[in-house]
Structures are given as C-alpha cells and as structure tokens.
Amino acid sequence: LSSNPPNDSGAETSPKTSYRTHEGEHHDDFGNTSVTITRSTYIFALCAALNSCNLGYDIGVSTNAGALIQRDLDLTTGQRELFIGSLNFWSIFGSLFAHWICDKYGRRQSFIVAAIGFIIGVFVMAFSNSYGMLMLGRIFVGLGVGFGLAIDPLYIAEISPAG
C-alpha cells in the first residue's frame, strides 16, 4: 500500500516521499500479544520432524543389514560400501531439486512426492535380486530422503505461528 506519511505537524508530505507499508503480524507489535499454538500445529510439526528421521533410520538399518545383504546377493566389500554410502550421495540431489516441486505444488504435496520416492525405493530394495536393482532402489530412497530433509524445516516454519 502506498501512502503519504504525515510529518511532525500532521500535514501530509509530498507525493515524492511515498513509501510502502507492510501490514503484517508484527506491525507495531513488539510481543504484547500472546500467540496460541494449536494442537494441530504440534502434530503437523512432529510429523514433519519425524520425516527427517528417515535418513538416520535408513542408515542404521542398512548398516546392520549390510552383512546379510552382502551374503545374500554375493556382493563384494566395495559394492557393500557403495550401497551403504550412496544414500547420502543421492540425498544431495533430492534436496537440490526439492524447491521446484515445493514452489509449484506446495509443501504438503511435496511431502507426498518425498514419501512416494522413499516407498518405491524401499520396495525395489526389498525385492531386488541383483546389485543393480539394489542400487536403483537406493537411488529412489536417497532422492526421497533428501527431498524430505529439504521440505521439513520449510513446512514447520510455515505452519508455526510467528511469536
């Protein structure tokens, strides 16, 4: 909104000194108002934060299951190391490309995209019978985890009331 602010005498200034005001939550409010955080906000923030646990959970499970996977699929030690370490690598790309989906479809829909990528990857890895299939599943899991890690803090910040 453009307006002409009054000067000290109460008269409006010339149109050349117009400025834009921001009528926001903090306009002339320096903490005198209490902000109520609803139960829904807590639940949604908790769910978004739990999504970030996918990375740690998957690293822990893969590390412990790595020996079994290596034995079952007859993998070399190098292949096992690549399998376990590749999650972090693919997560980088998931987080790098997350902003396009977030900006186009919003945070909630982006959570669905992240979850679908994670679930597809888990199923591909669970039913894989070769190293190539195992790594394909790992790519999907990594992209989904990285995508979720990029979205979580944005979503929590947007649903939380300013205060």
CB under 8 Å to 151, separation ≥6 — which residues? 48, 51, 98, 102, 107, 110, 111, 114
* Share above pLDDT 70 across residues of the chain, in percent, rounded to a whole number: 78
pTM exceeds 0.85, yes or no: no
pLDDT (tens digit, 9 = 90+) per residue, 123-133?
A: 999 999 999 99
Q: Which residues pair with 20 in a beta bridge?
A: 2
pLDDT (tens digit, 9 = 90+) per residue, 87-118?
A: 999 999 999 999 899 989 888 888 888 989 99
Could you tell me the CA-to-CA distances from 60 to 53, 84, 113 in Å, in that order?
A: 11, 10, 23
Query: Taking 60 as the threshold, does the pLDDT of residue 6 lie above it?
Result: no
The pLDDT confidence band at residue 31, using thresholds 50, 70 and 90, is low
